[in-house]
Chains A and B, each alone.
Chain A
Amino acid sequence: MTTQGLLYIALLFALVLGAAFPLGRYIAAIFEGRVTWLRPVERGFYRLAGVDEARSMQWQGYAIALLLLSVIHFGLLYAMLRLQYYLPWNPLHIAGMSPRLAFNTAASFATNTNWQAYVPEGQISNGAQVFGLVVHMFISAAAGIAAAAAVMRAFTAGSLKTIGNFYVDLTRVTLYLLLPVSLVAATLLVIAGVPQTFAQAVDVHTLNAGAQTLAIGPAALQEAIKELGTNGGGFFNANSGHPFENPNAWTNLFETWLLLVIGFALPITFGHMVKDKAQGRALMAAMAIILALGCVGSYAAEAAGNPQHIAAGITANGNWEGKEMRFGIPASTTFNVAATGTSTGAVDSFTDSYTPLGGAIPMFLMQLGEVTPGGVGSGFYTIIVFALLAVFVAGLMVGRTPEYLGKKVQAKEIKLAMLGVLILTLFILSGSAFSLVTASGVSSLENAGPHGLSEMLYAWSSATENNGSAFAGLTADTPLLDYGLGAAMLFGRFAFMIPILAIAGSLAAKPKLPASAGTFPTTGPLFIFLLIGVIIILGGLQFMPADTLGPIAEHFLLYTGKTF
C-alpha cells in the first residue's frame, strides 16, 4: 500500500461528494417539477402515452404502474433476445438465445442487475444490445430513482394520500438527468477512445504477421449509461477491463465517478425535499464511511499480493492476475469496490482472481443490502429501511415510540422493513446452499476448495441484490443458474421494492409531528454510527458464517501454502 494509492481513493471521494451536492439539489428540482428545459418533449411523451400529469397516485397505484411497465418491458426484451437472428442490425448473424438464457438476461436487465450469463461478443447482436439492453439501462435506472422519489415524498408533509405519478417521475428522470449526463459522458468517452460505430468487427493484419479480429460497436453510449445508471452490463465480455470500454486511467477514474455520483446525490436530494439538509448529509455520511473502509481494505489486500506467487519469484508489487496494466492496483480495486458498493457490478479487473480478502469486501458490500450508496434509487430506499430500523432500535433502548422526520414508526412499518431484509437473505443463503448440494451447481464452479463456495455465494449475493458482478469463473448459463438466479433477481428487485412503497404509503398518511425534546436526533454522529451499526449487524452479520467458510478460510489456507 502506498500513499499515492490512498490519495487516489481520497481524490475519488472528493470528486464524487463534491459533485453530489449540486447534483442532489438539481434532482430535487426534477422531482418537484421545477426543471423544464425539455418541456415540449416531455409534454409530447405524456400526450402520446395518454399520461395525465396532474394525477398523483396512492402507493398501490404507483407500485402497479411500475410493475406493469417493468413486466411489459421484460416481455419485449425476452422476445427480442429469442428472435434476434431475424431482427435487423445483426451483421454477424448471431443466433437467438435459448429460452432459459433469454429469461435470465431479460430478468437481469429489467431489474437493473445486468448479470451477464451470455458472452456479449458472440451471443448478442448489436441491435439487441442497443434496442434492448441500453433502453433497459435507462428505464430500469429511472424506475429505481422514481421509486426513491415516491419514498422521499412520504416524509415531506403530514397526512398525504398520494406519493406522486410514476410515469411523470420516470419521464422526468430519463429526460432531465440520465439522458443529458449520459450524452456528455459518452462524448468524453469517445474522445478518450471508446468506439461508437455500427460495425461489429474489424479485421487486422498484425505486426507479427498474424491476423486479429477486433470486436467493436456502439460501446460509448452503453458505457456511459452502464455506469451512470448503476447497471454494469458490459458491451464486451471483459467489461470495463476491456481497453475499448475503458481506454486509460483517466476514463477509469471518470467511470468510477459516474457510477457513484447519483447514489451519493440522492440523500442530498432527500435533504432538500424534506427541507432539512442535515438529514440527507447524515445518510450520505453513513454510506461514504462504509464505502471508504471497503476501498482501503480491498486495496490493502491486493497491494499485499499473492504470497505463493511472490515465493515463486515475481516481484512483490501487488496481485496483478486479472488486472490491467494501465489502471494499477488502487484504481482497479477502487473501481470494483465502488461497483459493488453501488449495484453497478461492472468490473475493471477480475474479482475471482483477487486475494481472498480483496474479493471478500465486494461480496460483503453486496450482502449489506446495497446501500453504500447502492443502486440509483434502490440504494436510497434501502438505506431508508435501515434508518427506520435504526430509530426503532434507538426507541427500544429508551422506551419511546420511534419517529423518523416526524413520522411515527410503528409495528407495521418495522414488519414490512424486516420482511424486505429477510427476503433477500433467504434467497442468497438458501439459493447458494441448494446450488452447492446439486451436481449441476458444483459442476458450474471454476475453482475448488473454499474459493468454490465463494464463487457460488457471490453469484447469489450479486443476483439477489441486483448487482450483477460475478466471480466470473462460474459457468452461469445452466438451467439451474439461469432460472434460479433469474428468479432471485426478480424477487430481489420487486419483492423488496413493493414492501418499501407500502411503508412509504403508510408513513405518508401519518401526521408530521414537530420534533420535541424527547425526539432522537437523526443527524449527528451518534445517529450515523448507530445507522452504520444497524447496517452491518442486520445486513451483514447473518452472512458471517458463510463468508467465514469461503473467503476467510481461503485467506488462511493461502498463507499456509495450500492450493486446490
Chain B
Amino acid sequence: MILRELRPALSLVILFSLFLGFLLPEAFTGAMQLTLPWQANGSLITSNGQVIGSRLIGQNFTSAKYFEPRPSALSPNPYTENTSGASNLAPTSAALLTTVQGRIAAYTKAFGPGPVPADAATASGSGLDPDISLDNALRQAPAVAAARHLPEASVTAVVDQLAQHAFLGIIGTDRVNVLQLNLALDQLPAQ
C-alpha cells in the first residue's frame, strides 16, 4: 500500500516545489520588479544619488536638531543592524520598569516636565518603528526648534503637515514618520 503511494507522493512534492518554490517566485518577483520597482525594493529614499533610508524603516537620531524615534530594544546599536525584534520583557519585569523610569527621566530632561507619551518610553515591536505619536512629536517640537534656532511655530507646522491620522478614528493612529519629519526640517530654509 505504501509502495503504491510512493510515486504520486514523491512526484507531487517535487512538482509543487518546482512550481511554487521556483516558477512562482521567479515570475512574481519579476512582475513586481517591472511594475512596482520602488515598493518591491524597499521604498528607498535617495538624496544626491545616495540611499539615505527607507520610507518604512525607522532610523536612530541622537542630535538635538532632530526629532528622536521610539526606543528600540535592539542592542547594541539600535536601528543599524539587519535585525529586528522586541524586548520581550514581562509587564512585571524589574529590568523593564527600571528602563522605562530611565527613559522618562531622560525625556523630561530633554523636553521639559510633564507626562511622557507612552510610545516615548516603551520599545516598539520591531525595534524599527518609523513613527512616533503626534503627542510625542508636539512635545519634542520646542526643543528641536530651539536647537535649530527656528521659531517653534515653523517646526510644529511641519509636524502638522506630515501628520497622519487614523481613518475615521478607527483604522490606524495619529502619528508622524520621524525620517520624513527630520528630512523636511533639513530642507527648511535657514532663518
Contact = CB atoms under 8 A, between A and B. Distances in A.
A64 B1 contact: yes
Q: Which of A215, A216, A253, A314 has the most CB of B within 10 A?
A: A314
A486 interface: no
A54 to B, nearest CB: 14
Contact of A205 (B17, B52, B63): B52
Given A122-B83, A212-B79, A242-B84, A312 B101 contact: yes
B156 interface: no
A68 B6 contact: yes
A197 B97 contact: no
A419 interface: no
B85 A210 contact: no
Contact of B8 (A50, A199, A450, A451): A50
Contacts of B5: 61, 64-65, 68
Contacts of B142: none
Q: Which of A193, A212, A318 has the most CB of B within 10 A?
A: A212
A547 to B, nearest CB: 16
Contacts of A250: 171-172
Contacts of A4: 166, 168-170
B133 to A, nearest CB: 6
A7 interface: yes
Given A167-B8, A325-B173, A352 B13 contact: no
Given A214-B82, A308-B97, A203 B13 contact: no
Interface residues of B, number: 101
A398 interface: no
Nearest to B41: A197
Contact of A193 (B25, B56, B92): B56
B36 interface: yes
A484 interface: no
A241 B121 CA distance: 18
B190 interface: no
Nearest to A471: B88
A321 B89 contact: yes
B17 A135 contact: yes
A197 B40 contact: yes
Interface string B36-77: 100111111000001111111111111100100010000000
Nearest to A326: B131
A523 interface: no
Nearest to A7: B170
Contact of B123 (A11, A167, A322): A322
A196 B17 contact: no
A36 interface: no
Contacts of A538: none
A432 B55 CA distance: 42
Contact of B92 (A45, A347, A563): A563
A248 interface: yes
Given A135-B20, A196-B40, A202-B42, A207 B53 contact: yes
Given A305-B118, A323-B125, A350 B17 contact: no
A313 interface: yes
A195 interface: yes
Interface string B1-19: 1100111111111011100
Contacts of A244: 42, 56-57
B24 interface: yes
B115 interface: yes
A207 B5 CA distance: 60
A325 B51 contact: no
A205 B92 contact: no
Interface in A187-208: 187, 190-199, 201-208
Given A76-B17, A243-B130, A557-B92, A321 B173 contact: no
B77 to A, nearest CB: 9
B29 interface: yes
A546 interface: no
B26 to A, nearest CB: 9
Nearest to B58: A243
15 contacts: A64-B5, A121-B83, A193-B39, A196-B40, A202-B44, A205-B51, A206-B79, A208-B59, A214-B42, A218-B25, A237-B85, A243-B126, A314-B117, A331-B172, A563-B93
Given A69-B9, A323-B125, 14 more contacts: A8-B171, A45-B15, A51-B12, A122-B83, A196-B29, A196-B33, A210-B60, A242-B128, A306-B91, A314-B116, A326-B129, A326-B131, A355-B91, A564-B93
Interface of B: 1-2, 5-13, 15-17, 20-22, 24-25, 28-29, 32-33, 36, 39-44, 50-63, 66, 70, 79-94, 96-97, 100-101, 104, 108, 115-133, 135, 166-173, 175, 179, 182-183, 186
Interface of A: 4, 7-8, 11, 45, 48-51, 60-61, 64-65, 68-69, 72-73, 76, 119, 121-122, 130-132, 134-135, 138-139, 167, 170-171, 174, 179, 183, 186-187, 190-199, 201-208, 210-216, 218, 220-221, 236-238, 241-244, 247-250, 253, 305-306, 308-309, 312-328, 331-332, 347-350, 352-356, 446-451, 471-473, 554, 557-558, 562-564
